[in-house]
Chains A and B, each alone.
Chain A
Amino acid sequence: MEPARLLAILGMSDAGKTTYLGRLWLGVHAQIGRLHAAGLPEVLRPLRDVSSYLLQGNYPPRTRRGEVTAFNVPLRWAGAKEALPFTLAFTDYSGEELERIFTQRDAGWTTAWQMRATGSLGLLLFLRPRDILKPTSARLIGPMEAAQWAHVRGEEPVPEPKKPRAAEDPAFLFDAAFAPQSSEELHRRPNPDQAVRPPTAVALVEVLQFLRQERRLLMGEAPDSNHFRVAVVVTCWDAIPRGVQDLGPEPFVKAHFPLLHDFLCSNFNSDGVRVFGLSSTGGDLADPVFLGQYEQIDPELMGNVVYHPTPGGDPISDPDIALPIGWLLEGDDALPGPRTSSP
């Protein structure tokens, strides 16, 4: 039996974990990219089921609550100098699991979570853009603190509240009051003129704290990046407005998941965390126009990842969606560009 390399996948429900696994398998089996299947897994059925949805032009159904599927996939990282085969082990589970651990911690921690915590080489942390909650009010106040005070003192007129839009409109999530539009604004930390936002990814931060605790890491102590890395994967990257996409996934996470971003910066070395934007299918399968294109091309050729080769540099796109896994296993050696670190 090949040596096993365990990776843990973390993500809330509907974050795209299952879709990614299905698309990943199609790619590695077809030997597209640098992560290749080294034969078939002993138990193929779960991967076959998941990927068959994608072959039919559908998203895999949401993993049901309590349902957990383990995958042991024989792989070979063709990009490494010595492409030794290994078995990549990970489990797919319902995203509610994380919420359960956060709220009912005493009942939620299992031996499987224990194994994820102590045995995994790295974490794939899935973030979905819809985890960004809309602000409760779009009413704005002054641009700087002095102006804020002037405003609450009645020295400046109250800005008119923005016309509310339908909450289900995805564009609302990227409203000007919420997602800065210019590069300069997006790199800046949120300002007082932005509406206050409910904290995001709190349950993820808590579970990360649990995992670190199980690895006997002190708060603020960075693990050796060669033995424990975190790949932050922003899914549905194709659904994000083009102007925000152009800036890349790092400023996106910094602006919209500040608690998580600060936590990662404070608890990991700069070469131990990397942020990727991921589009597993290259577009929205629910969009009939895109679906028409999708059906003309093999699914393993669709999709891409976006990352910053240099910290703060321009993002680049790579069709090899296995790159986050390659990076977890091999570090910056897995990246096609020069060796760098982030965020």
Chain B
Amino acid sequence: MASYRCKNPDCAYSDTGVCARATEFSDPETECDDLQNGRAQPNDGAPDTRVSIYPSVAALEPAIQDGGSESDARIEPSRFWSGSALGGEEAGEFLWDPRSKLFTIMGGEDRGKTCFLTAFYIQLANGYTAGFPWRFCGSRSLQGFQRLTDPAFDWQGGEKPIVPRSTQSSFRQPSFLHVALKRDGSRHALPTHLILTDMPGEWFDTWIDMGSSGLPDTLEFLPRSDGFLLVIDAPAVLTNREYRKNVSYLLDRLIAFLGLSTSSAAPIAVVLAKYDKIAHQASLPEGDMRRDAKQWGILESRLAALFKRLDELPPNIPWNVFPCAAFSQPGAQPVGVLAPFAFLLEETMRLDSLPPMTIEPEYRGSFFEVFRGDRL
């Protein structure tokens, strides 16, 4: 018998005459491509020259030179993502994918949006995901998250800034952070891409004052938003009437926007940031009770007007309220930060799910009754 060699590393046809894919071929020598392509001259006792699936060392050169240095030839700058934050174009590429979820984080200047975003990443990176059934799968903005996180770990308490502020001077275009998540226990499922906005509060002030015409470019992604995180400074709500008014203006703009965008059913998570500073005075209702202003104790009168507006939203727009403490003290775990994300993800996934079967099959008796002809 002539000797053959096979490209399939699991096949021992040349030694045993048994093809690894014997069930597929009646005559492997004529039918199997792996074997035909590897046809060798009859083995005349020459050294084993079976084809390897691996490259030769020579093929690895010039990248690796034995015993010496490796090639440091730089290749293709900008081969990868920048890592810091996604620009509108990069975010847009993700958003073609229906599994991507764009969550817009709204709120005034210095009201805790960036701290909230930073605490979200820290919780993921700490593996503290109790009550958040998602796992980190990757990120195109790890450096961006680290840029926020590193100063936060230097914070020693007090009123000093915890994270770098997102100001109008540093942000001229919308900036986004990205995290890919997989649902717990779904190792083989495709990930959900979370695109989170990181924008200066001044933009939202401009939106309040000028409407969409004031920010024709910077808020153009708003209609694509799958969910909104309205970050409210809880201590300021308690004490500052002007701030409360500004929050209601912002909410009015958002509600008007949602009304214009009739197809939108994007959920809204109202985040009461810095809640640790008033937690000793205010109540802490649970679950859906949080949608009732009366349950918030000292905050009741301050939140009532906001909640009234939210209650007037169409019923297909879910909303809820989440107290949160991103950095209550140095070294402490953030509290309540993941809950609004879990809420938005859950609600947007519900929107993505298939509608229920609306046609009920007519009951004609059990299978056996029909089979026996008992019921017709």
Q: Could you tell me the distance between the alpha carbons of A46 and B54 in the complex, rounded to whole angstroms?
A: 24
With A192-B130, A195-B332, A202-B142 known to touch, is A1 a contact of B56 (CB < 8 Å)? yes
Chain B residue nearest to A146 in the complex (CB): B284
Q: Could you tell me the distance between the alpha carbons of A128 and B216 in the complex, rounded to whole angstroms?
A: 50
Chain-A contact segment, one of B30-38, B78-86, B168-176: B78-86
Q: State which of A2, A70, A86, A199 has its C-beta within 8 Å of the C-beta of B69.
A: A70
| Nearest chain B CB to A156 CB, angstrom units | 11
| Count of A-B contacts judged by CB separation below 8 Å | 241
| Nearest chain A CB to B347 CB, angstrom units | 21
A261-302: which have CB < 8 Å to B?
261-263, 265-267, 269-270
Q: Could you tell me the distance between the alpha carbons of A26 and B334 in the complex, rounded to whole angstroms?
A: 49
List the B side residues contacting A266 at CB < 8 Å.
135-138, 180, 182, 187, 191
Are A189 and B330 in touch, CB under 8 angstroms? no
Are B138 and A107 in touch, CB under 8 angstroms? no
Q: Tell me if A's interface is mostly helix, strand, loop or mixed.
A: mixed
Q: State which of B72, B80, B154 has its C-beta within 8 Å of the C-beta of A110.
A: B72
With A70-B69, A154-B280, A195-B331 known to touch, is A103 a contact of B143 (CB < 8 Å)? yes
Chain A residue nearest to B150 in the complex (CB): A198
Query: Is A313's beta carbon under 8 Å from chain B?
Result: no
Q: Mark B109-126, 1 if CB is under 8 A from A, else 0.
A: 000000000000110111
With A136-B330, A263-B136, A267-B138 known to touch, is A219 a contact of B74 (CB < 8 Å)? no
List the A side residues contacting B334 at CB < 8 Å.
196
Q: Could you tell me the distance between the alpha carbons of A86 and B58 in the complex, rounded to whole angstroms?
A: 13
Are A196 and B135 in touch, CB under 8 angstroms? no
Query: Is A135's beta carbon under 8 Å from chain B?
Result: yes
Query: Is A114's beta carbon under 8 Å from chain B?
Result: yes
Count chain B residues whose beta carbon lies closer than 8 angstroms to a beta carbon of A: 75
Q: Could you tell me the distance between the alpha carbons of A219 and B126 in the complex, rounded to whole angstroms?
A: 21
List the B side residues contacting A1 at CB < 8 Å.
56-58
List the B side residues contacting A45 at CB < 8 Å.
67
List the A side residues contacting B276 at CB < 8 Å.
152
Q: State which of B83, B130, B139, B330 has its C-beta within 8 Å of the C-beta of A137.
A: B330
List the A side residues contacting B328 at CB < 8 Å.
141, 152
Q: Mark B328-364, 1 if CB is under 8 A from A, else 0.
A: 1111111110000000000000000000000000000
Query: Is A77's beta carbon under 8 Å from chain B?
Result: no
Are B67 and A43 in touch, CB under 8 angstroms? yes
Are A148 and B333 in touch, CB under 8 angstroms? yes
| Nearest chain B CB to A57 CB, angstrom units | 25
Q: Could you tell me the distance between the alpha carbons of A137 and B260 in the complex, rounded to whole angstroms?
A: 48
| Nearest chain B CB to A304 CB, angstrom units | 28
List the A side residues contacting B65 at CB < 8 Å.
70
List the A side residues contacting B150 at CB < 8 Å.
198
Q: Could you tell me the distance between the alpha carbons of A196 and B284 in the complex, rounded to whole angstroms?
A: 23
Count chain A residues whose beta carbon lies closer than 8 angstroms to a beta carbon of B: 84
Query: Is B321's beta carbon under 8 Å from chain A?
Result: no
With A145-B336, A258-B126, A258-B127 known to touch, is A70 a contact of B153 (CB < 8 Å)? no
Query: Is A215's beta carbon under 8 Å from chain B?
Result: no
Query: Is B212's beta carbon under 8 Å from chain A?
Result: no
List the B side residues contacting A190 at CB < 8 Å.
126-128
Q: Could you tell me the distance between the alpha carbons of A184 and B77 in the complex, rounded to whole angstroms?
A: 47
List the B side residues contacting A106 at CB < 8 Å.
77-79
List the B side residues contacting A109 at CB < 8 Å.
74-76, 79-80
Are B83 and A89 in touch, CB under 8 angstroms? no
Query: Is B18's beta carbon under 8 Å from chain A?
Result: no
| Nearest chain B CB to A209 CB, angstrom units | 6
With A3-B54, A112-B72, A259-B125 known to touch, is A152 a contact of B279 (CB < 8 Å)? yes
Since A139-B330, A202-B142 are in contact, a sample of 12 more A-B pairs with Cβ atoms closer than 8 Å, ordered by chain A residue number, is A4-B57, A4-B59, A70-B67, A110-B75, A115-B60, A139-B329, A202-B146, A219-B137, A219-B191, A220-B191, A222-B187, A258-B128
25 A–B contacts, CB within 8 A, in A order = A6-B60, A42-B66, A72-B57, A72-B66, A109-B75, A109-B76, A111-B75, A112-B64, A136-B154, A136-B331, A138-B331, A153-B280, A192-B128, A193-B333, A198-B153, A202-B142, A206-B83, A219-B180, A219-B191, A258-B125, A258-B127, A263-B138, A265-B135, A266-B136, A267-B138
Q: Which of A's residues lie within 8 Å of B, judged by CB?
A: 1-6, 41-43, 45-46, 67-72, 84, 86-87, 89, 91, 93, 102-103, 105-107, 109-112, 114-115, 119, 121, 135-139, 141, 145, 148-149, 152-155, 189-200, 202, 205-206, 209-210, 213, 218-222, 254-255, 258-259, 261-263, 265-267, 269-270
Q: Which of B's residues lie within 8 Å of A, judged by CB?
A: 48, 52, 54-60, 62-80, 82-83, 121-122, 124-131, 135-139, 142-143, 146, 149-150, 153-154, 180, 182, 187-191, 193, 276, 279-280, 284, 323, 325, 328-336
